[in-house]
Amino acid sequence: MTIYCFSSTGNSLHAARTIAQAFDGTVKPITHEATTTDDDMVGLIFPAFFWGAPTIVAEFAKNLRITNAAAYVFSIVVSGGSAHGAENALCLKPAYAAELKTVNNYLPMYEVNDEDDVHANAQTQLQQIIADLKAKKTQRGKPYTPVNRVVRRMMPGPASDAKFTVTGCNACGLCAKVCPVGNISATAGGPAFAHRCEHCLACMHACPAAAIDYGKSAGKTRYIHPEIKLAGLLKFREEQ
């Protein structure tokens, strides 16, 4: 099994590693590079962004070449609310598509609901997903509809980083290291954004000074998955 994963705060990475461990599989980061695999089980795990997939994930899926005609392909979308069919937002036609509900951490609109029961429920869902995958169950998931496309177009675009505010930055450079698409350069004056932002907000959550804000995020608790931690995210970035 090979799982390709995009993760900003560790929720998707934790899911990917939990599933991969059950199959002695491998987790690899989703990148801009075209990829070929001949594995017999291939999965994509990613967060829902405005009822759709992150741009880098959609592009990766479009360029992913699966040479094993018998491969069992699955797609898991991770969401803090409802993904509304985002598991089927990709050009792939997975045999199994599912949604994993976990901690909501979109700070411009919501508070983080990092509670024990949320993690416990997510773990229960993961065990069911693992059982389904072991049985090679066929599950189409919710449909990706024209309404999804309308909502997805409401998502802030690549230049949305121009609307980030930075206050109290200590120039530690962690934001540049944690960004999954290399959109940030660390400077003595703070982060410099390149306007190819995925709006994943990894930089906002990883900043030890909570110096980066967007919309109504100021003063809200930041979040990284407790079993992944910042060190785990940084190590995963180094694999890209």
Q: How do residues 17-72 score in pLDDT, each as one tens digit? A: 999 999 999 999 999 998 999 999 999 999 999 878 899 999 999 999 999 999 99
**What per-residue confidence (pLDDT) applies to 83?**
78
Going by C-beta distance under 8 Å and a sequence separation of 6 or more, which residues neighbour residue 201? 8, 9, 105, 106, 107, 108, 214, 217
Q: Where are the alpha helices (DSSP H) in 24-135?
A: 55-63, 116-134
CATH assignment at residue 170: 3.30.70.20
Question: Is residue 217 within 8 Å of 204, Cβ to Cβ?
Answer: yes
pTM, rounded to two decimals: 0.93
- Residue 123 — pLDDT band, cuts 50, 70, 90? very high
139 and 181 share a domain? no
170 and 52 share a domain? no
The residue among 186, 177, 192 whose CA lies nearest residue 232 is: 177
Better pLDDT: 155 or 194: 194
CATH assignment at residue 61: 3.40.50
68 and 122 share a domain? yes
Which range marks the domain in which residue 176 is found? 158-238
Tens digit of each residue's pLDDT (9 = 90 or more) over 80-104: 877 778 888 788 889 999 999 999 9
DSSP-assigned letter for residue 85: T
Average pLDDT over residues 166-175: 94
8 and 101 share a domain? yes
143 and 180 share a domain? no
Tens digit of each residue's pLDDT (9 = 90 or more) over 183-239: 999 999 899 999 999 999 999 999 999 999 999 999 999 999 999 999 999 999 988
**What per-residue confidence (pLDDT) applies to 132?**
97
**What per-residue confidence (pLDDT) applies to 85?**
81
The residue among 4, 109, 107, 16 whose CA lies nearest residue 56 is: 4
Q: Are strands 41-47 and 35-37 parallel, antiparallel or unpaired?
A: unpaired
190 and 94 share a domain? no
Beginning with the edge strand found earlier in the chain, give each strand of the sheet holding 41-47 in spatial order: 26-29, 2-5, 41-47, 72-79, 96-101
Question: Is residue 89 within 8 Å of 141, Cβ to Cβ?
Answer: no
136 and 37 share a domain? yes
Q: Count the domains in the chain.
A: 2
Q: Does residue 140 have a pLDDT over 90?
A: no
128 and 171 share a domain? no
